A and B are shown apart, each in its own frame.
Chain A
Amino acid sequence: MATRLRRFLALLCAVALAAPLPAHAAASDGDAQIIHVLNRLAFGPTAADVAHVRAIGIDRYIDEQLHPQTLAEPAELSQRLAGLDTLKLNPVELFKEYGPILPIMNGGVKLTPEEQKARRQRARIIVQQAQDARIWRALYSPRQLQEVMVDFWFNHFNVSADKGLDHLWVGRYEADAIRPYALGHFRDLLRATAHSPAMLFYLDNQLNTEPGIPGGVRGNETGINENYAREIMELHTLGVDGGYTQDDVIALAHVLTGWGLARPGLGRGDGSAQAFDPSRHDFAAKTLLGRTIAPGGEPQVEQAIDLLAAQPATARHIAFQLAQYFVSDKPPQGLVDRLAQRFSATDGDIAAVLKTLFASGEFRDSAGQKYKTPYQYVISAARAAGVEVNNPRPLLGTMARLGQPLYRCQTPDGYKNTEDAWLSPDATTLRIGFATGLGRGVLPLKNPPPEQQAAAGMTPTTQLVADQRGDPPKPQPLDAAPLAALLAPVLSDNTRSTVAEAPDGLKAALILGGPDFMRR
Chain B
Amino acid sequence: MNRRDLLALAGGAAFASGLAPIWTARAEGPSQRLVVVMLRGAVDGLNVVVPYGEEAYYEARPTIAIPKPGGDSGALALDGHFALHPALAALMPLWNDKKLAFVHAAGSPDPSRSHFDAQQFIENGTPGHPTTTDGWMNRVLAALPGARTSTDALSVGPTLPFILKGPIAVANLPLGPRAAQPMAIDQPQVASAFDKLYAGSGRQGEAYRQGREARTELIANMSSEEQMADNGAPPANALPAVADRLAGLMTRDRHIRLAFASLGGWDTHVNQGAESGQLANRLKPLGEGLAAFAKALGTDWDDTVVVVISEFGRTVHENGNHGTDHGHGNVIWLLGGKVNGGKVYGEWPGLAEGRLYEGRDLAVATDYRHVLTAVLERHLRLADPAMAKIFPAMPAMRGNLGQLLNA
Q: Give A residues with C-beta under 8 Å from B.
A: 204, 207-209, 211, 220-227, 230, 234, 240, 246, 249, 371, 401-403, 410-411, 413, 419-430, 432-433, 436-437, 461-462, 465, 469, 494-495, 498, 501-503, 506, 509-510, 513-515, 518
Q: Is the CB of B114 within 8 A of A494?
A: no
Q: Is residue B160 within 8 Å, beta carbon to beta carbon, of the partner chain?
A: yes
Looking at the complex, which one of A209, A425, A502, A513 makes contact with B207 (CB distance below 8 Å)? A425
Q: A223-B320, A240-B117, A420-B165 are in contact. List 12 more A-B contacts (CB 8 A).
A: A220-B270, A225-B325, A240-B114, A403-B157, A413-B115, A425-B170, A425-B208, A428-B207, A432-B194, A436-B184, A465-B233, A469-B231
State whether A220 and B321 are in contact (beta carbons under 8 Å apart), knowing that A424-B160, A436-B190 are contacts in the complex: yes
Looking at the complex, which one of B115, B158, B212, B319 makes contact with A424 (CB distance below 8 Å)? B158
Q: Is the CB of B321 within 8 A of A411?
A: no
- Residues of B near A432 (CB, < 8 A) are 184-185, 190, 194
Looking at the complex, which one of B170, B197, B211, B264 makes contact with A515 (CB distance below 8 Å)? B197
Q: Is the CB of A227 within 8 A of B325?
A: yes
Q: Is the CB of B199 within 8 A of A246?
A: no
CB contacts under 8 Å to A, within B241-285, are 264-265, 267, 269-271
- Residues of A near B215 (CB, < 8 A) are 426, 429
Looking at the complex, which one of A230, A401, A465, A502 makes contact with B113 (CB distance below 8 Å)? A230
- Residues of A near B185 (CB, < 8 A) are 429, 432-433, 436
Q: Is the CB of B189 within 8 A of A506?
A: yes
- Residues of B near A513 (CB, < 8 A) are 194, 197
State whether A494 and B193 are in contact (beta carbons under 8 Å apart), knowing that A222-B321, A423-B207, A425-B171 are contacts in the complex: no
- Residues of B near A209 (CB, < 8 A) are 320
- Residues of A near B203 (CB, < 8 A) are 419, 423
Looking at the complex, which one of B197, B233, B323 makes contact with A510 (CB distance below 8 Å)? B197
Q: Is the CB of B159 within 8 A of A422?
A: yes
- Residues of B near A227 (CB, < 8 A) are 269, 325
- Residues of B near A420 (CB, < 8 A) are 160, 162, 165
- Residues of B near A427 (CB, < 8 A) are 158-159, 207, 211
CB distance from B159 to the nearest CB of A (A): 5
Chain B, residues 197-218, CB within 8 Å of chain A (1/0): the string is 1111101110111111011000
Q: Is the CB of B114 within 8 A of A426?
A: no
Cα of A438 to Cα of B39 in the assembled complex, Å? 36
Instruction: Give B203's nearest chain A residue, CB to CB.
Output: A423
Instruction: Give B318's nearest chain A residue, CB to CB.
Output: A223
CB distance from A396 to the nearest CB of B (A): 15
Q: Is the CB of A425 within 8 A of B321?
A: no
Looking at the complex, which one of A225, A425, A515 makes contact with B214 (CB distance below 8 Å)? A425
Instruction: Give A422's nearest chain B residue, CB to CB.
Output: B159
CB distance from B355 to the nearest CB of A (A): 18
Task: Offer 22 A-B interface pairs, CB within 8 angstroms, sorted by A.
Answer: A204-B321, A207-B321, A209-B320, A224-B320, A225-B320, A249-B113, A402-B158, A410-B265, A413-B116, A420-B160, A424-B160, A425-B212, A426-B158, A426-B172, A426-B173, A429-B208, A429-B211, A436-B184, A461-B234, A506-B190, A515-B204, A515-B205
Q: Is the CB of A223 within 8 A of B321?
A: yes
Q: How many residues of B contact A (CB 8 A)?
A: 61
Q: Is the CB of A425 within 8 A of B172?
A: yes
Q: Is the CB of B234 within 8 A of A226?
A: no
Q: Is residue B322 within 8 Å, beta carbon to beta carbon, of the partner chain?
A: yes
Q: Is the CB of A223 within 8 A of B319?
A: yes
CB distance from A181 to the nearest CB of B (A): 25
Cα of A291 to Cα of B198 in the assembled complex, Å? 56
Instruction: Give B169's nearest chain A residue, CB to CB.
Output: A425
Q: Is the CB of B114 within 8 A of A433?
A: no
Cα of A177 to Cα of B197 in the assembled complex, Å? 43
CB distance from A215 to the nearest CB of B (A): 15
CB distance from A456 to the nearest CB of B (A): 14
Q: Is residue B174 within 8 Å, beta carbon to beta carbon, of the partner chain?
A: yes
Q: Is residue B358 within 8 Å, beta carbon to beta carbon, of the partner chain?
A: yes
CB distance from A244 to the nearest CB of B (A): 11
Q: Is residue B26 within 8 Å, beta carbon to beta carbon, of the partner chain?
A: no
Q: Is residue B183 within 8 Å, beta carbon to beta carbon, of the partner chain?
A: yes
- Residues of A near B98 (CB, < 8 A) are none
Q: Is the CB of A240 within 8 A of B116?
A: yes
Q: Give B residues with C-beta under 8 Å from A.
A: 40-41, 112-117, 157-160, 162, 165, 170-174, 178, 183-185, 189-190, 193-194, 196-201, 203-205, 207-212, 214-215, 231, 233-234, 264-265, 267, 269-271, 319-323, 325-326, 358
Cα of A427 to Cα of B207 in the assembled complex, Å? 9
Q: Is the CB of A510 within 8 A of B194?
A: yes
Q: Is the CB of B320 within 8 A of A246?
A: no
- Residues of A near B114 (CB, < 8 A) are 230, 234, 240
Cα of A79 to Cα of B204 in the assembled complex, Å? 40
Instruction: Give B156's nearest chain A residue, CB to CB.
Output: A426
Cα of A498 to Cα of B191 in the assembled complex, Å? 13
Cα of A226 to Cα of B321 in the assembled complex, Å? 11
Instruction: Give B115's nearest chain A residue, CB to CB.
Output: A411
Cα of A494 to Cα of B210 in the assembled complex, Å? 20
CB distance from A341 to the nearest CB of B (A): 25
- Residues of B near A208 (CB, < 8 A) are 320-321
Cα of A362 to Cα of B83 in the assembled complex, Å? 58
- Residues of B near A225 (CB, < 8 A) are 269-270, 319-321, 323, 325
Cα of A395 to Cα of B211 in the assembled complex, Å? 21
Instruction: Give B264's nearest chain A residue, CB to CB.
Output: A410
- Residues of B near A240 (CB, < 8 A) are 112, 114, 116-117
Q: Is the CB of B158 within 8 A of A401?
A: yes
Cα of A233 to Cα of B269 in the assembled complex, Å? 18
- Residues of A near B233 (CB, < 8 A) are 461-462, 465
State whether A494 and B269 are in contact (beta carbons under 8 Å apart), knowing that A225-B323, A433-B183, A437-B184 are contacts in the complex: no
CB distance from A483 to the nearest CB of B (A): 15
Cα of A506 to Cα of B162 in the assembled complex, Å? 34
Cα of A461 to Cα of B160 in the assembled complex, Å? 23
- Residues of A near B211 (CB, < 8 A) are 424-429
- Residues of A near B165 (CB, < 8 A) are 420
Identify which of B115, B178, B321, B358 gathers the most chain A CB atoms within 10 Å of its CB.
Answer: B321
Looking at the complex, which one of A220, A223, A494 makes contact with B271 (CB distance below 8 Å)? A220
Cα of A433 to Cα of B190 in the assembled complex, Å? 10
Q: Is the CB of B214 within 8 A of A426?
A: yes
Identify which of A207, A420, A426, A503 gathers the most chain B CB atoms within 10 Å of its CB.
Answer: A426
Q: Is the CB of A204 within 8 A of B269?
A: yes
State whether A230 and B326 are in contact (beta carbons under 8 Å apart), knowing that A423-B207, A425-B207, A425-B210 are contacts in the complex: yes
Q: Is the CB of A506 within 8 A of B264?
A: no
Q: Is the CB of A246 within 8 A of B358?
A: yes
Q: Is the CB of A430 within 8 A of B325?
A: no
Identify which of A227, A230, A402, A501 gathers the most chain B CB atoms within 10 Å of its CB.
Answer: A227
Looking at the complex, which one of B115, B157, B197, B319 makes contact with A494 (CB distance below 8 Å)? B197
CB distance from B73 to the nearest CB of A (A): 21
Cα of A515 to Cα of B197 in the assembled complex, Å? 8
Q: Is the CB of A433 within 8 A of B117?
A: no
Q: Is the CB of A433 within 8 A of B184?
A: yes
CB distance from B156 to the nearest CB of A (A): 10
- Residues of B near A211 (CB, < 8 A) are 320
Instruction: Give A253's nearest chain B residue, CB to CB.
Output: B325
